[in-house]
Amino acid sequence: MLYLVKSFFYFTTLIRYSQELFNWRKKAKTFLHSRIKYFILYIFSIYSNCIYLQEKQNMKKKKNISTHYVAAIIIFICAVVISLGVFLLYVQKSIDTNSQKTMTNNVAKQSNHALSILNIHYGFLNSIADKMGDSSDILSDENMELLVSLAANTDFERTALIEADGTAYYDNGAIKNVSQRKYFLEAMKGQATLSDPLDSSIDQETRVILCDPVCSCTL
């Protein structure tokens, strides 16, 4: 009986150890699975952190690149604006210089042209004055008819014969004393002269007077 009890004790102990041994394997497998799962999660966490850091660095790099692009564009625009401003200033200065040169040349040409026309008029008046000076009477009918014809067939608006005392006889029959006029005083000195623009009391218009001496008289 004692042997049977002892054997039964050994048998139950063996069964318990066998169950524990079996449970150890199961526990070991469970532990191994949990460690593998933890290791996988840890690896995944490290990988996620690496990806996050890489994306963060990429974003920072992109941001730096964008900043560089913006700075380069701003510098380019400023350079274009400055270059355009300098170019426009140069063009404006060149235009002003060329305009001044062109204007000076045009004024010189117009002045020379005007002087040529005046010389022609002076020569024409001088020829008429010489012809009138050949007459014994400066106010003869022939000279007055020549005066009227001169006004009608030339660009002269008015013509007149002026005596030494300053009495002017016009082609339209008007008579006026011009003894105080500057052009008359200069003509009395034997010089052909051109007056400043003045208001004519005959036509009530602004005129420029050309005078040429006729012997001791003036035209």
- SS3 assignment, position 178: coil
- The answer, yes or no, to whether residue 13 has pLDDT greater than 70, is no
What distance in Å separates the CA atoms of residue 154 and residue 11, rounded to the nearest whole number?
161
What distance in Å separates the CA atoms of residue 111 and residue 106, rounded to the nearest whole number?
8
Cα 81 to Cα 74, 78, 94, 129, 180, distances in angstroms: 10, 5, 20, 69, 66
- The answer, yes or no, to whether residue 2 has pLDDT greater than 70, is no
Claim: this prediction has a pTM higher than 0.75: no
Higher pLDDT, 111 or 14: 111
pLDDT tens digits, one per residue of 79-109: 888 888 888 888 888 888 888 888 888 888 8
Please, are residues 164 and 215 in contact by the beta-carbon 8 Å criterion? no
Provide φ and ψ at 104, rounded to 5°. -65, -45
Radius of gyration of the chain measured on its C-alpha atoms: 61
pLDDT tens digits, one per residue of 111-147: 888 778 777 777 778 888 888 877 777 788 888 888 8
Residues in Cβ contact with 219 at an 8 Å cutoff, skipping those fewer than 6 apart: 125, 128, 129, 132, 159, 160, 161, 162, 187, 211, 212, 213
